[in-house]
Amino acid sequence: MYARVINIYIKPGSMDEGINIYENAIVPAMRQQPGFKGTTLLTNRDANTGISISLWETEADMQGGEASGYLQEQLGKAAKLFSAPPTNEHYEVDVQA
């Protein structure tokens, strides 16, 4: 399994709106993607940051969303809330409990 980790930087006072967009617009779109296995959104309201961790069955499934423009489309849904561009990293999942 593979994980895409996106570090998100949110404008002050915009966290609730960002969580709403993630839950009601981005997650439903993720569920439609080939190989999608699950997602978690972590937030730190004091620092106005978040971490999105999405799990993918294969590396090809994870990277396919980037090549197709899917990822950029999802980030665009919340772009007005960003205080800095999100960062995107890939990981192999070695242990999951």
**pLDDT tens digits along 6-25:** 999 999 999 999 999 999 99
Which CATH number fits the domain that encloses residue 14? 3.30.70.100
**pLDDT tens digits along 68-80:** 999 999 999 999 9
CA dihedral 81, 82, 83, 89 (to 10 degrees): 160
Q: Which of 44, 39, 35 is nearest to 68 (CA)?
A: 35
| pTM beyond cutoff 0.85 | yes
| pLDDT recorded at residue 80 | 97
How many domains does the chain contain in total?
Answer: 1
- Identity (one letter) of the amino acid at 14? S
Round the average pLDDT of the chain to a whole number and report it.
96
d(CA 78, CA 43): 15
Q: In 3-state terms, what secondary structure has residue 58?
A: coil
Q: Is 28 exposed, middle or buried (0-12, 13-18, 19+ CB in 10 A)?
A: exposed
For residue 97, being part of any structural domain is answered with: no
Domain that holds residue 57: 2-92
